[in-house]
Structure formats: structure tokens, C-alpha cells
Amino acid sequence: MGKPRRAPTAEDVARLAGVSRTTVSLVLNGVVGVRIPEETRRRVREAAARLGYRPHAAARHLVRGRAEVIALVLRQTPDQVFADAFLPEVLRGLSRVLRKAGFHLLIFPLSPDHPPEETVALLQERRVDGLILSGPRFEDREWLARWSQETPVVLLGRLSDTPIPSVDVDNVQAAAEAVRHLIRLGHRRIGLITNAPLSYTASYERWLGYRQALEEAGLLYEEAWVAFGAFTPASGAAAMEQLLRLPDPPTAVFAASDVVAFGALQTIRRHGLRVPQDIAIVGFDDVPLSAYVDPPLTTVHLPAEELGLHAGHLLLRWIEEGRPPTQEIRLATGLIIRQSCGAGGGA
């Protein structure tokens, strides 16, 4: 039995290309700001390809002075993250950007009751190059402000009065349009199931949009018609149960995420009621499954993949070029009309 083949080294590449080991390191690690003739770079790359040599990840990180790891921090419990049907679409866009730039993604659930300072310390120990916070809460302003002094941060969501770049949609107007649609269909008793507690900025903004649409139409806002979800179908089912127990329950419901709407649909069926004949329902997010539930869910489309793409681009720009001016990217939404609202849309 022969000896195992020795793995090629930087010295082997240097000998084959006729350059120094330092030149090999500079070329293959992508070090910028060093003047190396293009012909020399070509010889180094060809020699490395011929030998099957790849730089060691730890060495590459030392040369570049960064870990090439981005943390996506989700303001949810692990169970809520696993139930989040919107997240995979965001990850598709974000991962595409990071992979092209040679970065890895660390997904980090941060429960609402978990001290953010502990997470910050852990992320610092793991040497991440930047952080994307998805689903910020109002209370996150302080620790994010401190963290962003040392490390690039981008928000997937919105925190007013902070200089941190963000990518989001106009949650207020998108929610208002969903409720206006139900009003145009003749509904006057319209309930709300939030996607999360109102301490989350997106949940609060969708609640504001719900109120805004009611006030525009001269309809009374009833606190009893607002039930609180928490990211999961089970929370949506419980919230719908609460609304159906009212002496005069709503004839329509705006569920501020599709995932909580799925739970609400189950509760409505369990009560022997029909959608949309007895209760109309409109969701929010347009996750892929929303077109396949029974009945197909009318919902607000959010460009999830584009949200991930833009967040990744913003963060990489900060890492490569330095802190940018405060930038808020707002992407367009649209109402997707299907059967659950009673308007007779297609699937």
C-alpha cells in the first residue's frame, strides 16, 4: 500500500509559478492595495489550479484581518424561528449575496427575554464581521447603537431615530391597504391578529396601519377586536379563538402574518364556520404555502428574497468601504387577492 499523497503547499505553488511564497499568499488571499502584475497573478492562479491548492481558511482570515462570517440575529425563540415560513425566502437572497462574496452565515436566535449583551459578547468571541438584526424591538436601540460603533450592523426592519442602515417595507401602508380591501368588500366589524407583541416595530406598524384604515372609513376601533399572535400557527389559532368568543365577533380578520393566519383558519373550521362566507381573512407576507391552503389566502406580498439581497449588499458595502451614510431602503408591497377574502381572486 503506497503512502498517501501529500497535500500541495504554498511553497509548491510558488516554485511552479516562479514567485515567492509571499506573492502566492497575497494573490490567493485576495489582498487589495498591493501592486502585482496581472501576468504574475495569472501564473499563480494557474499553478494553484494545476496543483489543486486552496489557501487554509484560518490563514486567509489572518491575512485579510476578518473572519468572513456574518451573524443573522433573529429576535425570536428557536421554536418561533423554525415556524417562520417567511425566513427561508429571506435567507435565499441573503445567502446568495454572501456566498458570492466568500462570506459564511451564522444564524442566531435571540429570545426576547435573553439579555442582548450576552449575545453581543458571544458574537464578539466568535469574531463576526457584521450583524444583520431581523425583527427589531423598540428596546434594541441602545445595545445596537453601542455595537454599531465597532461592528457593521444592518436592520431587516425599522427602528426610528437610529443611524443604522435598514431594509424594510412600509408596514403601515401595506397593512392599511389590506384592511381597506376588506372595507371595500363591505365589512364593518374587522378584527386584527398581530404577528407579534407590539414591542416589535413591525407588529406595531401593522397595528397602526389597521387603525389608520378604520379611521379613514369612519369605523370605530375596538380593543376587543385585537388579539395578539406570536409568530406561530398555534398563537394564531388561540387569537382567533379569542375573537370568536366575543358576543359580536368580527366578520373579517386581518392577520398580520400568514403563519398566524394558518392557525386562525384552523380555528374557524373547528367552529364549523366557512371562509370567506362566514368570516373573511387576509394575511401578510405571501409565503409560498399561502397559495395552497384551503381556501387560498389573500395576503400582502412582501419581496422576501429582495429584502435579504439588499440587506446583504448594504452590510458588505460597510465592511468593504467603511460606514455608509444612514440609508433606509423601502421595497414595494402588493395585495395578492385569492379566495379567503371573498373577492373571488385566483389561486
Q: CB atoms < 10 A from the CB of 111, how many?
A: 15
Prediction pTM value: 0.81
CA 273 to chain centre: 34
- What pLDDT score does 124 carry? 64
- What pLDDT score does 54 carry? 72
Identical fold for domains 10-64 and 171-302, yes or no, is: no
User: How confident is residue 112, by pLDDT bands cut at 50, 70 and 90?
Assistant: confident
Answer yes or no: is pLDDT of 311 > 60.
yes
- What distance in Å separates the CA atoms of residue 132 and residue 166, rounded to the nearest whole number? 9
In terms of C-beta distances under 8 Å and separation of at least 24 residues, what long-range contacts does 313-320 make, across chains too?
313/97, 314/154, 314/165, 314/167, 315/70, 315/130, 315/132, 315/152, 315/153, 315/154, 316/97, 316/98, 316/101, 316/103, 316/130, 318/130, 318/152, 318/154, 318/165, 319/66, 319/129, 319/130, 319/152
- Judged by phi (left if over 0) then psi (alpha if -120 to 50, else beta), residue 246 lies in beta
User: How confident is residue 32, by pLDDT bands cut at 50, 70 and 90?
Assistant: low
- Rg of the chain (C-alpha set): 25
Contacts of 316 (CB under 8 A, 6+ apart): 97, 98, 101, 103, 130
User: Which range has the worst mean pLDDT, 45-49, 115-119, 120-124, 222-226?
Assistant: 120-124
- What pLDDT score does 1 carry? 45
Give mean pLDDT, residues 83-90: 93
Q: Which of 308, 306, 303, 257 is nearest to 154 (CA)?
A: 308
Give mean pLDDT, residues 41-69: 71
Residue type, 40: T
* Topology (CATH level 3) of domain 10-64: 434 Repressor (Amino-terminal Domain) (1.10.260)
Spell out the CATH class of 69-169+304-332. alpha beta
Give mean pLDDT, residues 287-297: 97
Greater confidence, 180 or 124? 180
Residue type, 116: P
- What pLDDT score does 63 carry? 46
CATH number of the domain located at residue range(s) 171-302 in this protein: 3.40.50.2300
Assigned C-alpha cell, 206 = 401593522
Answer yes or no: is pLDDT of 275 > 70.
yes
Domain ranges of the chain: 10-64, 69-169+304-332, 171-302
